[in-house]
Amino acid sequence: MKITSICCIGAGYVGGPTMAMIAQKCPHIKVTVVDLNEDRINAWNDPDVNNIPIYEPGLSALVAETRGRNLFFTTEVEKGIDESQMIFISVNTPTKTYGLGKGMAADLKYIELCARQIAMVAKDDKIVVEKSTLPVRTAEAIQNILDNTGNGVQFQILSNPEFLAEGTAVEDLHNPDRVLIGGNPTPRGTQAINALVEIYANWVPKDRILTTNLWSSELSKLTANAYLAQRVSSINALSELCERTGADVNEVARAIGMDSRIGPKFLKASVGFGGSCFQKDILNLVYIAKSYGLNEVADYWEQVVIMNDHQKRRFANNIIQTLYNTVADKKITFLGWAFKKDTNDSRESAAINVADHLLHEKANIAVFDPKVRSKQVISDLQYLNEMELSELEKSVAVFEDPYQACEKAHAIAIMTEWDEFKNYDWKKIYDNMQKPAFIFDGRNLLDPEKMRAIGFIFSAVGSAR
C-alpha cells in the first residue's frame, strides 16, 4: 500500500513536530494535523511562524517550509479522519488522578475517544498508528473498539512510539537512533508495517528501522524512558553522598562515564528530572508490574521516582537551611522554569516542586525563563499549590528581564540549564542583591570559583561547600 494521505490526531509536542518532519521528507504525502483545541490550531496557523505553540530549535523553519504545501492544521477532525489512509494517534496520556490506578496508571480516556471517533467516521480501510506513549497491550483495546463499533471496515493497528528529547526534537526526527514499528505478524499486519516503513525510509536508513510485535514496541517505549530516568536518579543519589564526603559529583560522573560499558550520557547531577514522560512512564510501568503481581519489579522501578522526589525536596530544604533556617518574606529568584533548556515545556519541572516547597515556607518567588511565560508559571503552581490565586500572585512574580528578577533577591536558584545564564554580568547581579548573596546551582551550570570570587556564597548539587 502506498500512503498518500496521513491524519494525526493531536497537535502537541509529539504530533506537531513529527508531522512537520514527515511533510518535509515526503512532499508526495498530504499531512493533516487535527485537534479540537481551536487556540492551539490557530497558533500553529499563525502567519508568524515564531508564534507557533511549541518552541524547538529548527521547528519554526520546518513549519514555514511545509505549512500550506502538504502540511495542514485544522479543527475538522472528522474530515481529517475520513480523507486519510493512515491515522496517527498522538493525544495526551496523563497519569490517572482518580479511581483504580490513581497516581500510577495511564489515563487512556483520550485514546479511547480517538478510537471511537475513528470507528464512527471511517468508511474505508485504515491503518491506525499509536504514537502516544501507552501501556503494553493498549493496541488490543483499540482493536476491540474499532472492530466492534466500526462500519465493517478493516483496521490495522501499529505501534510507533516516539523517542524525542525536547530541545533536540527536530534533530532527533531528522537523524533518529532508531525508528520502532510494532504490528501483527499477519499478511495484512505485515503490509501495514511495510507501508509505515516506506514512509520513514524516505530519510531514515532501513537498518535503523526496527520492526517488532505490538507488545514489544509498546513496552520498549516505557522501558527506554525508565532506563534513562534510572541513570539520572542514580547520579543524583550519588550527589548527596558526594556532598557529605567531599567528592565532586562532576568528577565522579566523568570518571565512570569514560567506561565504555557505561558512557557519559544522562550522568549530569541536577535538582531532578522533569518533563512529560519520565515520571509518568515509570509510574505506568510500576502499575503494570503490580497488576501482574510482580511486586519486586514494581518496587525496583518505583525507587527511581522516590529518589527524584527526594532530590527536589532536598534542594529546597538546602535553600531554607542555608538562609538561616527561614525564607519567610525573603525573595528567592528562580532562573529557569522549563524542565530543560531549549523548550518552553514546564510539565513536571523540578522548579514547580521547589517553588511550592518554598511558598509553604512563606518565601517570595521571582521567576525568569527565556521561553516560559507568566501565565504558565502561575498555572503550574496553581495546579500543585492550595493557595488562592490572589495570594499566589502576591507571592510569585514573573519577569521578562533576568536582572530585574534578581534585584534585591536574597538568593538565586538555577533551575534550568539555559546557556545564556553562563554569560550574564554576574558582578552586576551581585551588586544589586541582598547581602550576603547566595546562589544554589541546581544544574551545575556556573563556575564555582568565579562566583565565589565575585562574592557569592555558592553551592551546587553534588559538591561540598
Q: Which residues are catalytic?
A: 277
246-275 burial by CB neighbour count: b if 16+ within 10 A, else e? ebbbbebbeebbeeeeeeeebbbbbbbbbb
* Cα distance between residue 135 and residue 334, in whole Å: 35
Q: How far apart are CA 461 and CA 311, in angstroms?
A: 9
| Cell of residue 463, nine digits | 559538591
**CA distance linking residue 381 with residue 364, whole number of Å:** 13
Q: Say whether 459 sits in a helix, a strand or coil.
A: strand
Cβ distance 139 to 221 under 8 Å? no
Distance CA 357, CA 373 (A): 21
Length of the chain measured in residues: 465
Q: Which of 8, 9, 16 is nearest to 343 (CA)?
A: 16
Question: Which residues have a Cβ under 8 Å from the Cβ of 208 and sit 6 or more positions away?
Answer: 176, 177, 178, 179
Q: Residue 139: how many CA atoms within 13 Å on its side-chain side?
A: 27
CB 450 within 8 A of CB 426: yes
In whole angstroms, what is the distance from residue 102 CA to residue 116 CA? Answer: 24
Provide the grid cell at 106: 495511564
Category of 58 on φ-ψ map: left (φ > 0), alpha (ψ -120 to 50) or beta: left
